[in-house]
Structure 1
Amino acid sequence: MDIEKMYQRQDVRQLVHALTLLEGEADVEAFLADLCTPREICDFAQRLQVARLLDEGEPYVEVQTQTGASSTTVSRVSKALNGVHGGYRKMLIKLEDGA
């Protein structure tokens, strides 16, 4: 399924909307704990760390060493970081701005 079709699904729309309703870190932590396994949460965190390091210009091998991510994960994150959706880039800017 391509990403545009995925976002047309009602259940996915509801999830996206639910995320916008979260207020503060405690709400996010509670929702993530219910929605994801601990491993999934750690995987998300690792991908964000990979994106940050790539954005800072770190080489792939160094990113793998620092994060423990596979070469496939680093490559996938790099593609998304430089891709059309811009989600990682927007989040990194918000994090840098202290949001």
Structure 2
Amino acid sequence: MNSKLKSEAADFLFDAILSLENKEECYRFFEDLCTSAEIKAMSQRLVVAKMLMEKKVYTEIVKETGASTATISRVKRALFDNDTYGYTLVLDKLLDKGEN
């Protein structure tokens, strides 16, 4: 875990997210919490991670998502070179549930 992120405020945020029960509640909360650009950027990074796990190449990812190669590289490092495995954790759970 990244000790730079750990704080009471971050714990409070994550507890708030974990309290959400469905997509409608998520939309309502995140619309208040984030700008639409921030939500789109986070969504894009998750889709990029999914495509990288599916062994898609950069050109295909750029074409489909509009992500920059810098963003794709950053996600790739987080996906394969970090020890947090956050993307893998979430994507494995989503794929197990059949949500693509």
Q: TM-score when scaled to structure 1?
A: 0.89
Q: What are the Cα deviations for residues 9-35 of structure 1, in whole angstroms up to 9, with x where unaligned?
A: 211111111111111111111111110
C-alpha displacement of 1:53: 0.6
Please point out which of 59, 64, 68 is paired with 1:70. 68
Report the counterpart of residue 59 of structure 1 in structure 2. 57
Indicate the SS of the match to 1:5.
coil
In 1, Cα distance between equivalents of 2:40 and 2:57 = 22
Alignment of 1:1-99 (within 5 A): 3-7=2-6, 9-82=7-80, 83-98=82-97
Indicate the SS of the match to 2:40.
helix
In 2, Cα distance between equivalents of 1:6 and 1:43 = 19
User: Larger relative contact order (C-alpha < 8 A, sep ≥ 6)?
Assistant: 2
Q: TM-score when scaled to structure 2?
A: 0.88
Q: What are the Cα deviations for residues 47-70 of structure 1, in whole angstroms up to 9, with x where unaligned?
A: 111001100001122211211101
C-alpha displacement of 1:5: 2.7
Instruction: Give the root-mean-square deviation of aligned CA atoms.
Output: 1.6
Query: Where has structure 1 moved over 6 Å in runs of 4 or more?
Result: none
In 1, Cα distance between equivalents of 2:23 and 2:69 = 31
What 5-or-longer segments of structure 1 have no aligned partner? none
Indicate the SS of the match to 2:87.
helix
